[in-house]
Chain A
Amino acid sequence: MNFETFVFYLNFAAPLLIGALIFLLRGSLKLSAALSILSVSMAIFSTYKIWQKISEEGLKYLQPNKLFYIDGFSILMQFMIEFVTIFVIFFSLKEISKLYNHRKNQSHTYFSILMLSLGFMNLAFSFDSLFFFYIALELSSISAVYLISFNLDKNSLRAGFIYLLMVNVGILFSLLGIVLINYNTATEVTISNISQSITFLNKNIALLCASLFIIGFFTKAGLMPFHLWLPQAYAEAPTAITVFLAGAVTKIGFYGLGRTVTVFAFNMEEVKILVLLMSSLSVFLGAFLAFNQKDIKKLIAYCSISEMGFIASALILNSYAGKFGGVFHLFNHTLMKGALFFSAGALIYLHGSRKIEEIKAFKPKASAIMISFFIGALAVGGMPPFSSFLSSLTIIFALVEEKFIGLAFILALSGFISLLALLRSVISIFWLKEDNLAANTNVSLPKILIICALFFALTLIALGIYPEFLHSLFHKATLAIININH
């Protein structure tokens, strides 16, 4: 094995092997976290090297052997989940020490499973065969269950159970879709040959397959009407894991959509219309339901469903602008949810409650958290100068260009409703205060929690002012989706 191949395998092998090592060592919280950071750093290094090779040699994709297929879209997804995981590890260190102290002796299992989940996700982004993609996807989903139920109280266990059952059953539909294409085309369906494969399908069978993929990947992404697992899982999981779910685990559903459903939509208008209808449902109802939430994490979760509808409706469009907007918004979604959930996590750390009414009862003493929450809320509304403004605008223009003016209006309106729902909470938590409220002086906020929230918020501004910084990555990812459609 030469150095290049070794570096390629490092991408998923490092998190998987070090994940297993963490479990076997049964070390302290700090040791487990240090090893986790080491493995994610190795994965980032590997992804960077693959990106360097693809961009320097002007390759459309990299195929080290028959099993794997890496292109711009895979690399974008890998970078995204790896960076999210780094911050998740830092946040977890403090969160477990304080809020989950009763589970501190199991921190090695926590970090081990986090690494295994990351490894399986990286593996899923690397496979060419849809069957193997499915296997890696399911393993990453299943392992996330332990993390959701980490608190081991009744609510978190129930949330984990619903997640496990819904996601497992949901993605079985996508397996059925893969099986049907496979049988009808008599060849193993892969990412590189899916566009040719579906041309051999009878139209009804093709529509059936597309519907099965839509059910499977919509469930995984947490889009309506298959979203039932999402608000509960986001709310009951430790905040660091909520960020991991929002920024990494659900993204694999969009990867599946980008690899399969977009190909069907390119060939069949009906599939495009179906996805647009379903995603507009997510966009509108997500924003609408966010309004009534009393739990800060559930509030952000419903806004997240709305935002994800944005992404799905953009990815499914046939134009470059639509797909570029979708890819850009996919990245921005991770940043927005990072800023919002980490801020919410810091508030929960301070006040020990997720209930907005209970958080409101204390004097705020975390101005940095207020800033990051406020930035996250404005970014969800697609306000300038945040990067989500650019991606939202691109998506709306792309929709108008393809004559979906009504949907563009729903998207803009829903963004505004989400913004109002979030701003209402920000204002009531941080500004509308009576003078006689007690300050929660017993707890001080660790700097690392503030850094995590601020990093995501500031990146939203930086990318909004200077989007060229990541343009080539988004461009390559967009071209990768378009390439497999043809």
Chain B
Amino acid sequence: MDIIYIIFLFFTFVAGESRNLKFASYSLIPQGLLIVLSLMIVGYVNNLSHFYVIAAVDLLVRVFLMPAALIILLRVRLQKEEKPAIIHPLSIALSIVLLSVGYKFIDTIKIMNFPNILSFFTAGATAFIYGMFLFLSKRDMVKMIISFFIIENGIHLILLSMLPKVGKAVEFGLTINFIVAVIFFIYITLRYNLLSVMEFINKIKKES
């Protein structure tokens, strides 16, 4: 399983650090697929049939709906990321610091005897911390949404590590929340981008 989480984190960083927004959006697809894959494996190994249902919902939401929504947003704007509040080299340095803090935190959790869930938890916590960092450092609206998706994926993984104790109704409720949030994100950002384009066209018309 560990290899799945390493690949998951690799795509998380690609989505976060890539300046090409289309590429960053596509990077969310393998990220979602890996969540689905890990769910299927855990469901199969532990004989938990409702994990398959959650995996199916995740496939729909995280692999198709989410990236598709981002691609729609990119139709009416430039695909290059707006200059972030914190530039790249510093961004990478800060990510490392944050991840080290995260790793320290995981050590504390280890002492608290979290048995076989650690991989889920570690990957989830790292994605959460990295997503938070991205959220604080980015200025581009699409990149901020990507950071929200990464945070949400991180939380999702943490929650999955505890799913047998939480109950599936909670998981479905949270997925519905996520879908509604995505719909509102698309609505607002699309409207905003359209207004920006209109303003730009009007400006050019006036100048000519």
Contact = CB atoms under 8 A, between A and B. Distances in A.
Interface of A: 129, 131-132, 135, 138-139, 142-143, 145-146, 149, 152-154, 157-158, 160-161, 164-165, 168-169, 172, 175-176, 179, 182-184, 186, 188, 202, 204-205
B181 A132 contact: no
Q: Interface majority SS on B: helix, strand, loop or mixed? A: helix
Given A153-B195, A183-B161, 18 more contacts: A129-B170, A138-B181, A145-B188, A152-B191, A154-B192, A154-B195, A157-B188, A157-B191, A161-B189, A161-B192, A169-B132, A169-B135, A172-B151, A172-B155, A179-B159, A179-B166, A182-B162, A188-B165
Contacts of B89: none
Nearest to B117: A183
Contacts of A149: 188, 191
Nearest to A183: B162
Interface residues of B, number: 37
A269 B176 CA distance: 37
A131 B173 CA distance: 9
A138 B145 CA distance: 17
B174 A135 contact: yes
A182 B165 contact: yes
Contacts of A168: 148, 181
B181 A142 contact: yes
Nearest to B132: A169
A142 B196 contact: no
B148 A165 contact: yes
A201 to B, nearest CB: 10
B63 interface: no
Interface of B: 108, 112, 114, 128, 132, 135, 141, 144-145, 148, 151-152, 155, 158-159, 161-162, 165-167, 170, 173-174, 176-177, 180-181, 184-185, 187-189, 191-192, 195-196, 199
A186 B164 CA distance: 10
A465 B143 CA distance: 53
Contacts of B165: 182-183, 186, 188
16 contacts: A129-B170, A131-B173, A135-B174, A139-B176, A154-B192, A154-B199, A158-B192, A161-B185, A168-B181, A172-B152, A176-B158, A179-B162, A179-B166, A188-B165, A202-B112, A205-B112
A146 B185 CA distance: 10
Contacts of B180: 139, 142-143
Contacts of B158: 176, 179
B147 to A, nearest CB: 8
B3 to A, nearest CB: 25
Contacts of A175: 155, 159, 174
